[in-house]
Every structure is written in structure tokens, then in C-alpha cells.
Amino acid sequence: MERVAASKGRSATCRPAAASWGGRWGSAVRSRSASMEQMFHASRRDATCVSACAARDPATGAGHSPPAPPGDLAMRQLLALLFSLAATPLAAQEPSLARPNLLLREVVTGMPRGERQEVQVLTASFRPGDRTVFHTHRHPVTVYVLEGAFTLEMEGRAPALVRAGEALVEPPGVRMTGYNRAEGPLRVIIVYVSEPGMPFLDPIHP
């Protein structure tokens, strides 16, 4: 019985010592881990500093910064595009108002007087030497030349020559013939306002 009691006493005495030893060992391990982590971060900072200094120092022979990762390059390109768009004048981004330019203004007689009128828009193409029939119009006709030169010969009046970008009003009731006397093709746009169903021209037969 005395030996058992003595054994128990020694076990109880050893437990605090073991606990104390284990605590010192755990503290030493944690301290060593913290030191290694600090050394790791310090080495990364040193490596970053060395790379930056080498890129700035001409003596290293590099002369340029190290290439950026693909993600950084794409981000830089996107920012450059945004800055360029921001620097673009506002007027270049928004469409301006279109305004008509006056090409021809002329007081005429012989326009239709009914409550309803019909508007005809026609085109005509002439090869060199082509002409219209000998004809008259019941109402004024407006001719705009797209390409070439249009010659209008009217009975009792001087011939009229209209070039590309110009316009002419043909008078009503006058006998006339249109020609392409130029060396190139002729294209015109014709606008005619009349009573509904009225023909564009009345041919004159010899």
C-alpha cells in the first residue's frame, strides 16, 4: 500500500513537469513558424525591390520594365481606349442637324388648280447623242441633272444648258426637245405636278 501511494505521488509530480515542457515546446514551434513567415515576406519584398531597381538602372542592360502579365496588358489597353473616348469632342459623337440648301427658286404659272394634285418623280438616262421626243407639258416641269449636261431646245426661245448639280424649270405649253450633246452619259431627275392621271408629256407629231 505504501508503494502504491508513493507511485501515485511520483506520477502526480511528473504531470506538471510534462505539461510545462509541452507548453515550452509549443511556444518554440510557434515562434519558429512566425520567424520563417517573416523571412519569407522579407525575401519577397527584397526580390520585388531588386526587379524594380534593375528595370530603372541602365547599367543592368535591361532598359525596360519587365513584361506585364496578360491581364494587366488587357486592362491597360481598356483604360487607354476609355481615355481616348473621353477626350473625343462631343460634336464628333453626336450627329449634327442636316439643313437643306436652296438650289432653285422660280415663280411659275400654269400650276394645277384642283383640290387634288398628283406628284410624279421620274428619272431618265441619256447616252451621248440621245434626245427626247418633240413635246409639250401641260404644267411646269422641274429637271435636276445628276450627271453630265442637259441641253433643252425650246421653240421661240434660246437653248438652255444645265450641268450636273444644277436645276431647270421647263415652262408649260412650249414645244421643246431635250438633248445629250456631251461626250459622256446624262442622268436627270424630273418632278412633275399635275391633276391626277394626267400624262407627263404630250408628244408632237410632224
pLDDT in tens, 15-39: 444 444 445 545 544 555 455 455 4
pLDDT computed for residue 38 by the predictor: 57
Q: What is the pTM of this model?
A: 0.56
Same domain, 83 and 156: no
pLDDT in tens, 64-102: 555 556 566 777 777 777 767 666 665 556 889 999 999
Bridge-partner residues for 205, per DSSP? Answer: none
56, part of any domain: yes
The length of the chain is: 206
Query: Which triple of cell numbers denotes residue 198?
Result: 394626267
Query: Which triple of cell numbers denotes residue 37?
Result: 513567415
94, part of any domain: no
Q: In terms of residue numbers, what domain contains 46?
A: 2-88
Q: Are the beta carbons of 118 and 196 closer than 8 angstroms?
A: yes
